[in-house]
Chains A and B, each alone.
Chain A
Amino acid sequence: RKEVEQDPGPFNVPEGATVAFNCTYSNSASQSFFWYRQDCRKEPKLLMSVYSSGNEDGRFTAQLNRASQYISLLIRDSKLSDSATYLCVVNIRTGGFKTIFGAGTRLFVKA
């Protein structure tokens, strides 16, 4: 089982739709959580950190459920420019630390 698993993609949605991504992690020592976006042939860029209380940044909402070990990302009112791959990232404290990236979920937003 992968340490971080994401929804299989791709997701194809029309402009204006609401889309949700889920990510599960297996290591209970996971300490911090992030969502990144990656455009084709570009570097990953931080979208938002994920806090236990949930957090919102404009059209984007991230939530963390420690008991069930999953995080989610909700995108409201999708724009064409939201088309990208969304990466779930988990930092695990294990003496040292490990950063584990999910394989990503591809999103296509169509006019």
Chain B
Amino acid sequence: NAGVTQTPKFQVLKTGQSMTLQCAQDMNHNSMYWYRQDPGMGLRLIYYSASEGTTDKGEVPNGYNVSRLNKREFSLRLESAAPSQTSVYFCASSVSAGSQPQHFGDGTRLSIL
């Protein structure tokens, strides 16, 4: 039972570099999410995809883009990384958006120097 799989698990970037975080789920869920978690703060929603073919901004979308590649996969892209984007990133999925619990991947620890 893989659930939600994120890659990579760790990454160090230099300011200005770009990278894509990958997320895949095998639970046939319709909705997928990207969060960031910073010390002393709750998880904050970056973007979500309520269903295949749709994406919407969350609370902190600036500096990020997403792609819902298919029902299983939802990627997060940093076009020009900044030190303020140093964080732990979690991908999650749920049966549907808004009322169902979300299941999380084990996170990507990203440091930007």
> What residues make up the interface of B, taking CB atoms closer than 8 Å to A?
33, 35, 40-45, 48, 50, 56, 58-59, 90, 97-107
Once the chains bind, are A97 and B101 in contact (CB under 8 Å)? no
Number of residues in A with C-beta < 8 Å to the partner? 22
Residue of A nearest to B40 (CB): A103
- Are A32 and B99 closer than 8 Å at their CB atoms? yes
Listed in ascending order, the chain A residues whose CB lies under 8 Å from chain B are 4, 31-32, 34, 42-46, 49, 87, 91, 93, 96-104
Do B42 and A96 touch (CB < 8 A)? no
- Distance in angstroms between the alpha carbons of A87 and B44 in the assembled complex: 13
Q: How far is the CA of A98 from the CA of B35 in the complex (A)?
A: 12
Could you give 23 example pairs across A and B, Cβ below 8 Å?
A4-B42, A31-B98, A32-B98, A32-B100, A42-B106, A43-B90, A43-B104, A43-B106, A44-B43, A46-B101, A46-B102, A46-B103, A87-B42, A97-B50, A98-B45, A99-B48, A99-B98, A99-B102, A100-B42, A101-B44, A103-B40, A103-B41, A103-B42
